[in-house]
Structure formats: structure tokens, C-alpha cells
């Protein structure tokens, strides 16, 4: 496998209501030339920042990955590079938007 390289990352912060449920923001990333929209940054129950990859739900209610890491090692490396590009640490405390404001 070629070296995994996250080339660019942008994030739009989640609303205060969404942040209250653990959603930090929505990421667009370019990884080895592939643009991936709709990645989410979430705070886990253990207060770690994790990435969620886009999925779609079919007419029967089943979810299917649109794009996903090939394995756990790749997931960890993508997460590390994306969070670093955003200036976040996996256990970072992320400031929340003031109540009633949406960034």
C-alpha cells in the first residue's frame, strides 16, 4: 500500500444542539487525491475525538458505508492526520458554540 496522506482538511462546526450530543463538526478531507465529504468528528463517551465516515440508508433501513477505512490501522492513521490538520488532539476539549448560535 502507498503511504496514506491526508492532503487537506476543512471543518464546519456543529450547532450547539448537536455539540450537546457529541457532534463536534463536519469534515471535508482529501486523502491520497480522493475528496471525501461528510466525515464527522464526534466526542466518544470516553471523551476521545473520533471520526465517523459517510453512510447511506437504503429503502429497507439498512445502512451502507459510502467510504470507509480498510482496517483499524488505516482508521487510526486517518484520524491522527485529520485531527492534527485541524489542530486537535484525540482527547482535546473542543469549545462549544454559545447557546442559540450556530457557527
- Does residue 37 fall inside a structural domain? yes
The position carrying cell 466525515 is 39
Report the predicted TM-score, pTM, of the whole model to 2 decimal places: 0.81
Strand (E) or helix (H) holding 93: none
Cα–Cα distance measured from residue 54 to residue 37, given in angstroms and rounded to the nearest whole number: 8
Domain carrying residue 49: 6-85
- How many folded domains does the chain comprise? 1
Give tens-digit pLDDT for 72-97: 999 999 999 999 999 998 875 555 44
What is the mean pLDDT of the segment spanning 41-65? 94
Percent of the chain clearing pLDDT 90 (strictly above): 79
- Does residue 90 fall inside a structural domain? no
Q: How many CB atoms lie within 10 A of CB 43?
A: 18
Amino acid at each position: 500500500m502507498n503511504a496514506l496522506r491526508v492532503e487537506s482538511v476543512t471543518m464546519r462546526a456543529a450547532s450547539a444542539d448537536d455539540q450537546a450530543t457529541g457532534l463536534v463538526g463536519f469534515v471535508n478531507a482529501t486523502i491520497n487525491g480522493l475528496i471525501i465529504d461528510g466525515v464527522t468528528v464526534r466526542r466518544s463517551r470516553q471523551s476521545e475525538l473520533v471520526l465517523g465516515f459517510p453512510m447511506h440508508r437504503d429503502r429497507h433501513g439498512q445502512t451502507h458505508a459510502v467510504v470507509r477505512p480498510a482496517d483499524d490501522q488505516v482508521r487510526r492513521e486517518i484520524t491522527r492526520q485529520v485531527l492534527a490538520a485541524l489542530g486537535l488532539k484525540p482527547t482535546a476539549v473542543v469549545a462549544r458554540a454559545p447557546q442559540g448560535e450556530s457557527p
